[in-house]
Structure 1
Amino acid sequence: MTTDDIATTGEITRLARTALSPSFPGATAPGWLLDELERGLGGVTLFALTGNVPSPESLAALTERMRGAGAPLVSIDEEGGDVTRLGGHATGSPYPGNAALGAVDDPELTRRIYRSMGAELAEVGVNLNFAPSVDVNTADDNPVIGTRSFGSDAALVARHAAAAVAGTQEAGVAACAKHFPGHGATVVDSHLTIPLVDADLALLDRRELVPFRAAIDAGARAVMTGHLNVPTVTEGLPATLSHAAITGLLRERLGYGGVIVTDALDMRGASGAIGIPEASVRALIAGADLLCLGPNEHADTLRATLAAVEAAVRDGRLSPHRLQDAADRTDALRRWLSGEAAASPDRDAGLEGARRAVRVTGALPGWNGTPPLVVEVESSGNIAVGPTPWGLHPWAPDAVRTDGTDGDADRVLDRAKGRGLVVVLRDAHRHAAQRSLTTALLTARPDTVVVEMGLPVWRPGSAVYLATYGAAAANAQAAAELLGLVPAPGGTA
């Protein structure tokens, strides 16, 4: 088909629509979305915070309704651990996240857990999971990756990236390795600005790109771009909008032939200065195939983006054959998704992994029949994690949460008189109030037990210390068992 043929047969609009993955509010597909699906809309991205996932049952009904209107790639962020959407956003995930799996370092366990998560997604009609995160987390102060990474060693991350991809796809769900070319060395959040990755190609080759090669070799059906400025590669652009990053590095250098998905284009790292429609055009020109528009980008954004893509083709900025190439790749993914896959949820794997991940320093105390006071110190989350519940309070008869302000130490010490004291932290290395309160408590009560549910970077030297490598429900239960707050397997509290 020639360019003129495409321009005169309405193919531009059809092809542009296949590249878009908008969102919508609520648990029922709105009329505009069903109409767009009937016209060939390529995908739909689901978000817990917009009410798409009140329960697995409602989600299954929703995806069935959408498939009655079209054949969308139905995507979601289900990483396990701290980033969970499938019910875990309300209760915490039954699966530990990547940091815990990296601490265990058993790729077969990682494969088993991702296969189980994939099976749960398949049961409710989700066929594209925006996971695993294969970023090598080399920056302790990384505000957005942290426990979402398998670790700071490229080889370790690579072997677990391959296992996660294999497990997900054994369940018949497409895996999406992210955030290319690697978000682990950043100290700002791409939701808010464009992070800088200060690495030349040689460093990228031996660090950031190692897990992506492993994921590609494992057959990853999708790769997600990050809105990352890597000056030696992207020339000041975010990778999502960079032809050199997507086509030059990912397609040509790494030889990747699957679907390339953008991270959400509403993020300021992608569209803050230019808007979502223009960012969409530039991402397509760069070589992206499927555009995730963002959690609050509905009918109006979809229509504005379609109009921008059509104008870019008419103006000669965007080749219609680039649109056809993108459509061909997403169609190939749909054909793969139509194959048979047999996997069942295996939630026992999640708790097993969480238990194996906990690291204990010092001798755990007994409580002599009197439950300890559990103090959870507030920590700011990030946009990717969202307001997912965390902490030990579901298993603690007496638990309080504090922000660590002046005077809290005295109030806690008074309340803990005559019994044990447990302080629960989350990424204390990033939160001065957590460190200050913990130090004050340990000064007065050296028997205080410290539980770190983020990355164990800051460790008070004198404390009995538990590191869970994540704040999922499974991680919390594993810590509660060790602390005697809940009966452990084969024993009593």
Structure 2
Amino acid sequence: MPPETAVETLALRVQVPAFAGATLPADYADLLRAGLGGICLFGSNTAAGEESVRSLSAEIRSASAEGGWTPVITIDEEGGDVTRLEALTGSSVLGAAALGAADDLALTEETGRAIGVRLARAGINLDLAPVADVNSNPDNPVIATRSFSRDAGVAAKHVAAWVKGLESTGVAACVKHFPGHGDTGQDSHVDLPVLDADLATLRERELVPFLAAADAGAASVMTSHIVVPALDPELPGTLSAPVLGLLRELGYEGPIVSDALDMAGASEPRGIPAAAVLSLQAGADLLLLGPDKPTSLVHETAAAIVAAVESGDLALERLQDAVARVDRMLADLADRTAARQGTDGELDPRFEERSVEGARRALAAASDLTGIPDLAGARVVTVDTEANIAVGDVPWGLPPDLVVRPGDPLPEFPDAPLIVQVRDAHRRPEVGRTVAELRGAAVLVEWGWPGTYDGAAVPRLCPQGYSLPGVAAVTEILRRAGWDK
């Protein structure tokens, strides 16, 4: 066995934690010098803007370089509802559901490329995107508009196009959440969902987009914290050798990245260090710990990994293989970056215009564009509901005149038609009741997944996720009906 210090270094190399704030804390700089695998950026790291993120990335790289390492600097930047770099304004690009509905593969590829250009400029080398889950359960509380489609074939071709666009910029993709989180009815941030599908269904539905991503050259794949009884009746995918082994059987050789281990689906009741060891044993290569973590957790997790190696519970070769897979990905990124020198920022000059056109098609695909009444003088009412943890607290919808929460006393708007906007009302009965009680509701704008709708008396617009191009397309429709704000 190598010296203990070497094993400790390997135990750091497989970890990617996160800290709060826009500057690199001294204790995290020390960990990076000692071999910490990298840093995952969240909203508190990006709130000061892109130049601040670029500066922070440079700090991270500098600290790692002192130790002789190349760090993974990663982020959740999916476009649409899930954005970190544009969390204060909303995403300037369409999200997955709108792209799938628009069904323009060139636009999807260019959207992936636009995100990659922005991430590369900010010093980020791994994007935890795109979502390859097939949203076959319309009541899914965490995937929904993050999915390209409820149809596996449609999702697959758009996942592949998005990966191709992103990775053309030298930024690695991390396709998620293997083997597929789309048919679940719980959020693995707070529960342990079960995907109750047989192996034949998995191969015909869940696995199809992941195979397409592999064929497109996706650099990495993220696990999901869900139980798949057809593969493993006990452990969630992130901790399951049969689940992660299936990914290798499909021919994928890049690093397997765990979803955040602080999520309930992975670490309750065992704790993060124990979950980290189990995930490595199962075949994961890079461990995300979750946001705002103290360095003490990194040390505890490293100690648990070292102890597992010393006891024989975790083979040293498995740990070495995990680090080697990540190093190969980083080396490949360096080669891609060298090959694309001079191509930074080369986007289709019509990309913004084409994004709005895509938003129009997505809107038309799921909306009732007939019967919208005269909206002169209309007020905008937001029925506010909490977003899932993946989306976070970010802007959504048109600028409202009034915000109400389900159950709040409802105001009167004499003689004013109401533009009412909601998210995922089909799976929130309390939202439907609030909308029904709003006198004067003239049009409903559903910014979430376009689920079942029985309010035929009120036309519904479904942009299929929030984005600035989606806002532009919705605004066009409303203004044609007389809305003058």
Q: Is TM-score (shorter-chain normalized) higher than 0.5?
A: yes
What's 2:63 paired with? 69
Label 1:487 to 1:356 Cα distance change in 2 as closer, same or farther (>3 A).
Answer: farther
Letter of the 2:48 counterpart: P
Bigger shift: residues 211-220 or 371-380: 371-380
Aligned counterparts of 1:407 and 1:485: Cα–Cα separation in 2: 31
Aligned counterparts of 1:373 and 1:282: Cα–Cα separation in 2: 53
| Match status 1:388 vs 2:394 | yes
Aligned counterparts of 2:276 and 2:7: Cα–Cα separation in 1: 15
Aligned counterparts of 2:353 and 2:274: Cα–Cα separation in 1: 46
1:450-469 to 2 correspondences below 5 Å: 450-459=444-453, 460-469=455-464
Given that 2:47 and 2:88 are in contact with CA atoms closer than 8 Å, whether structure 1 keeps it comes out as no
Note the C-alpha offset of 1:213. 0.4
Note the C-alpha offset of 1:296. 2.4
Given that 1:170 and 1:343 are in contact with CA atoms closer than 8 Å, whether structure 2 keeps it comes out as no
Note the C-alpha offset of 1:144. 0.7
Aligned counterparts of 2:266 and 2:20: Cα–Cα separation in 1: 22
Aligned counterparts of 2:452 and 2:174: Cα–Cα separation in 1: 32
1:211-250 to 2 correspondences below 5 Å: 211-246=209-244, 248-250=245-247
Letter of the 1:150 counterpart: F
Letter of the 1:65 counterpart: E
What's 2:78 paired with? 79
Given that 1:379 and 1:431 are in contact with CA atoms closer than 8 Å, whether structure 2 keeps it comes out as no
What's 1:58 paired with? 52
Letter of the 2:381 counterpart: V
Aligned counterparts of 2:138 and 2:231: Cα–Cα separation in 1: 24
Note the C-alpha offset of 1:474. 2.8
Out of 416, 432, 436, the residue aligned to residue 435 of structure 1 is: 432
1:394-413 to 2 correspondences below 5 Å: 399-405=401-407, 407-408=409-410, 411=411
Corresponding residue SS for 2:304: helix
| Match status 1:420 vs 2:417 | yes
| Match status 1:482 vs 2:477 | yes
Corresponding residue SS for 1:231: coil
| Match status 1:209 vs 2:207 | yes
Aligned counterparts of 2:235 and 2:427: Cα–Cα separation in 1: 28
Given that 1:390 and 1:476 are in contact with CA atoms closer than 8 Å, whether structure 2 keeps it comes out as no
Corresponding residue SS for 2:28: helix
Aligned counterparts of 2:354 and 2:289: Cα–Cα separation in 1: 34
Given that 1:131 and 1:177 are in contact with CA atoms closer than 8 Å, whether structure 2 keeps it comes out as yes
Bigger shift: residues 51-60 or 179-188: 51-60
Label 1:201 to 1:290 Cα distance change in 2 as closer, same or farther (>3 A).
Answer: same
Bigger shift: residues 37-46 or 187-196: 37-46
What's 2:137 paired with? 139
Aligned counterparts of 1:486 and 1:114: Cα–Cα separation in 2: 34
Note the C-alpha offset of 1:450. 1.4
State the percentage of identical aligned residues: 45
Label 1:328 to 1:487 Cα distance change in 2 as closer, same or farther (>3 A).
Answer: farther
Aligned counterparts of 1:406 and 1:389: Cα–Cα separation in 2: 21
Label 1:347 to 1:298 Cα distance change in 2 as closer, same or farther (>3 A).
Answer: farther
Letter of the 1:14 counterpart: T
What's the TM-score once normalised by structure 2's chain length?
0.92
Aligned counterparts of 2:480 and 2:282: Cα–Cα separation in 1: 53
What's 1:195 paired with? 193
Note the C-alpha offset of 1:265. 0.3
Label 1:337 to 1:468 Cα distance change in 2 as closer, same or farther (>3 A).
Answer: same
Aligned counterparts of 1:452 and 1:255: Cα–Cα separation in 2: 40
What's 2:67 paired with? none
Given that 2:97 and 2:464 are in contact with CA atoms closer than 8 Å, whether structure 1 keeps it comes out as yes
Residue-by-residue CA offset, 1:285-329 (whole Å, 9 max, x unaligned): 111110001102230110001100000000000111111111111
Label 1:282 to 1:485 Cα distance change in 2 as closer, same or farther (>3 A).
Answer: farther
Structure 2 alignment gaps of length 5 or more: 65-69
Superposition RMSD on alpha carbons, in Å? 2.0
Label 1:486 to 1:260 Cα distance change in 2 as closer, same or farther (>3 A).
Answer: farther
Given that 2:46 and 2:84 are in contact with CA atoms closer than 8 Å, whether structure 1 keeps it comes out as no
Given that 1:480 and 1:486 are in contact with CA atoms closer than 8 Å, whether structure 2 keeps it comes out as no
Given that 1:150 and 1:160 are in contact with CA atoms closer than 8 Å, whether structure 2 keeps it comes out as yes
Residue-by-residue CA offset, 1:167-192 (whole Å, 9 max, x unaligned): 11011100110000100111111111
Corresponding residue SS for 2:474: helix
Note the C-alpha offset of 1:38. 1.7
Note the C-alpha offset of 1:259. 1.0
What's 1:267 paired with? 263
Aligned counterparts of 1:439 and 1:53: Cα–Cα separation in 2: 37
Given that 1:229 and 1:239 are in contact with CA atoms closer than 8 Å, whether structure 2 keeps it comes out as yes
Aligned counterparts of 1:138 and 1:343: Cα–Cα separation in 2: 37
What's 1:116 paired with? 114
What's the TM-score once normalised by structure 1's chain length?
0.91
Aligned counterparts of 1:35 and 1:353: Cα–Cα separation in 2: 46
Note the C-alpha offset of 1:437. 2.7
Corresponding residue SS for 1:358: helix
Note the C-alpha offset of 1:66. 1.2
Note the C-alpha offset of 1:419. 3.4
Aligned counterparts of 2:267 and 2:197: Cα–Cα separation in 1: 23
Aligned counterparts of 1:187 and 1:93: Cα–Cα separation in 2: 26
Note the C-alpha offset of 1:484. 1.2
Letter of the 1:311 counterpart: A
1:349-364 to 2 correspondences below 5 Å: 349-359=354-364, 360-361=367-368, 362-364=370-372
Aligned counterparts of 1:212 and 1:487: Cα–Cα separation in 2: 45
What's 2:41 paired with? 46
Aligned counterparts of 1:485 and 1:378: Cα–Cα separation in 2: 26
Aligned counterparts of 2:406 and 2:161: Cα–Cα separation in 1: 40
Aligned counterparts of 2:408 and 2:33: Cα–Cα separation in 1: 59
Out of 16, 19, 23, the residue aligned to residue 11 of structure 2 is: 16
What's 2:283 paired with? 287
Aligned counterparts of 1:233 and 1:124: Cα–Cα separation in 2: 39
Given that 1:176 and 1:223 are in contact with CA atoms closer than 8 Å, whether structure 2 keeps it comes out as yes
Corresponding residue SS for 1:300: helix
1:285-324 to 2 correspondences below 5 Å: 285-324=281-320
| Match status 1:25 vs 2:25 | no
Given that 1:21 and 1:41 are in contact with CA atoms closer than 8 Å, whether structure 2 keeps it comes out as yes
Residue-by-residue CA offset, 1:1-45 (whole Å, 9 max, x unaligned): xxx3x2x36321121211110111111111122222222221211
Corresponding residue SS for 1:224: strand
Note the C-alpha offset of 1:107. 1.5
Given that 2:383 and 2:420 are in contact with CA atoms closer than 8 Å, whether structure 1 keeps it comes out as yes
Aligned counterparts of 1:212 and 1:59: Cα–Cα separation in 2: 30
Letter of the 2:265 counterpart: G
1:315-354 to 2 correspondences below 5 Å: 315-338=311-334, 339-340=336-337, 341=340, 342-344=343-345, 346-354=351-359
